[in-house]
Structures are given as structure tokens and as C-alpha cells.
Amino acid sequence: MTQALIVIDVQNDFCPGGALAVPEGDLIVPGITALMTEFPVVILTQDWHPAGHSSFASEHPGKAPMEMTEMPYGPQVLWPDHCIQGSIGAQFHPDLTVNRADLILRKGFNRAIDSYSAFFENDRTTPTGLEGYLRTRGITRLTMVGLATDFCVNYSAVDAAKLGFDVTVRQDLCRAIDFGGSLAAAQAGMTQAGVTLA
């Protein structure tokens, strides 16, 4: 019981046809569902934004999606409106075996701050509570899959490694947004942090 599978943000809005579609985001779903059977603990994360979230480009006049802005906590990519609480876009992909999850962790619900990582909001200090959950269950090894490799998977993996967990990212069961070299930068950062890229 020392290992867990963490499935990051496999939601409709991150799959083809969604508001922030990751190329081929839906193709990883069968493999993730199959992999769930190999782990004693499965955790799903779910982007869960209120309408009018501060990371949405629509909240910043004159700004377009994928542009950068400066927030009180640092640089922030501005996104299309996505994964709005209760929307179809925020729901998990219909082929994902959600009932296999021990825990569903929702993040990004604070309107003023985005949350890529499953462990901390983007201020890098406000915890989500996932670390405590894992520690109390005696889990030390994590395998991560999901969307997107260069953002939420990357931030989650690096944070987990910094917290002392043994972390593997299954790249075959992730897909990236990859703009402006973000995938290569994420891979380098994960490797530097001690994450195993498999």
C-alpha cells in the first residue's frame, strides 16, 4: 500500500472538443483506466474553477488566451474559460473509471489564484491537503499520468519530489499543450527535481 497512482485532470475541457483541448488528450484514457488495476490506491485530481476565475483571459480586458500576465503570486498564463464548476467541461472524461478512485482532489476553486499542482496553489505555499492524505496512508511512491504534461503533471511531479516522494511520470499516458518550448522545459525541470520520466 505504499504506492499510489495519481491521475491528473483527465476532464472533458482538456480533451479534443473541450475549451482548453490538449492534442490527443483522449487517447490516454484507455491506458490510464487499465493502469488503475495495478495500484492499491488511485487518486484523481479535478480542475474546478468558479466562473470568472482570475486566470481566465476573459477577466483581463485586452488580453488573449495563452498570453502572460503578472499576478500577486508571479507570472500567470491566461487561459480560455475552462473546467467551470458543475459544467460538462469540468466532468471527467466519460471513459475514465472514476469509481476506482480512493480520493478526488479538486483544485483551482479559489477565484484569486490558479492551481496547477495537486499539492500547492500557484503561490507555491498554500497546500491542497494531498501531502497530508498521502502521509497518513503511508504512501511514499507516486506514479503520475494525465493532462497536461507541461503544466499540471509537471508542477505536481516536481512538488511531490521536493516533498520527498519517489515520483515517476508515465509519459506515454500524458499529453502536453507544448507552446513556446513548455514541454522540453518541463521535462528538464522534472528530471532536475529527481522525477523519473518513464
Catalytic residue positions, numbered: 9, 107, 152
CA–CA dist 168, 22 (Å, integer): 21
Looking at residue 169, its amino acid is V
Query: How many CA atoms lie within 13 Å of 177's alpha carbon, on the beta-carbon side?
Result: 22
- Helical pair 182-192 and 154-162, crossing angle rounded to 10 deg: 10
| Residue 55: all three cell numbers together | 486566470
CA–CA dist 153, 28 (Å, integer): 14
User: H/E element holding 132?
Assistant: helix 130-136
CA–CA dist 93, 15 (Å, integer): 8
